[in-house]
Amino acid sequence: MTRYAFTFPGQGSQAVGMGKDLAAAYPEARAVFQEVDEALGQRLSAIMFEGPDDILRLTENAQPALMAVSLAIIRVLEAKGVRLADHAAFVAGHSLGEYSALAAAGTFTIADTARLLKTRGQAMQKAVPVGHGAMAALLGLDMATTHEVAAEAAQGEVCDVANDNAPGQVVVSGTVAAIERAVELAKAKGAKRALLLPVSAPFHCSLMQPAADAMAQALAEVTMNAPVVPLVANVLATPITDPAEIRQRLVEQVTGVVRWTETVTWLTGPGGVTHLAELGTGKVLTGLAKRINAEAVGTSVTTPADIDAFVAALLA
């Protein structure tokens, strides 16, 4: 029996031109982009469609932009007779994608989600002065060895495991010197590759506590409904539905580990999911799903052609 989870991409998937083909093809998509623009008081859609790239890549723009494309796809699917509650057993999102997942599942309005992500992006950028934090991808090490590397590299500074993206693909985050030490230690311990990432701040580590505090305040002021299907939370890798717990986990997520390997493992194991549909820009999560569970069927739904094929498969 086919059983779907809908997943939503995180930062790094943004690209100039994102959403432009959707806006040209569907009034529902145009309405979402307009709603986000109005909620933020900026022409974010113009930056998404035309760039420049350096402005789109700013955390405070990339986060709501990625959500906007994901929600545009959700609204187009709804217009074609595909309701999330009827076709998805669970939702999950990678880091900021968790907000997209919750908006898709009705926990937040699109306008509130856009404002929350703007706040989140600004707070994450402000938490650490530029040049004081870094992140690195460590490829080819198991989690136990990665934790050893992080502990050894810290030396009284911050070096935390930030993202467990797939087996052998883990990201660490912290102060520049500690992360540089982690890169060298990882190579010495047999990593296939260890490289600094081109990010503007050290996400998902304890240095982000000021941003977590800002999100606790912002989330306390927003109306939250129970999602129409459970969210498999980044920091738990298990499903939750209670709005108060969702709020708590979203705050923890700012400094906590994105447990993506465990999330997909839970979905395709105890969750009984056979198909993972990635709704939004890019195909990063679809690629990770294959690395986590070779038997899982991953589908990337990004373009109008993807949407048509996905609707045909769901309504067949």
Catalytic positions are 95, 204
Beta-bridge partners for 164: 170
Under 8 Å between Cβ of 22 and 306: no
Q: Any alpha helices (H) in the chain, and if so which ranges?
A: 20-25, 27-40, 44-50, 53-56, 59-79, 84-87, 97-104, 110-127, 143-154, 176-188, 209-220, 243-255, 260-268, 284-292, 304-315
Under 8 Å between Cβ of 232 and 92: yes
Integer Cα distance of 178 and 157 in angstroms: 6
Integer Cα distance of 3 and 1 in angstroms: 6
- In this structure, which amino acid lies at residue 54? D
Under 8 Å between Cβ of 138 and 191: yes
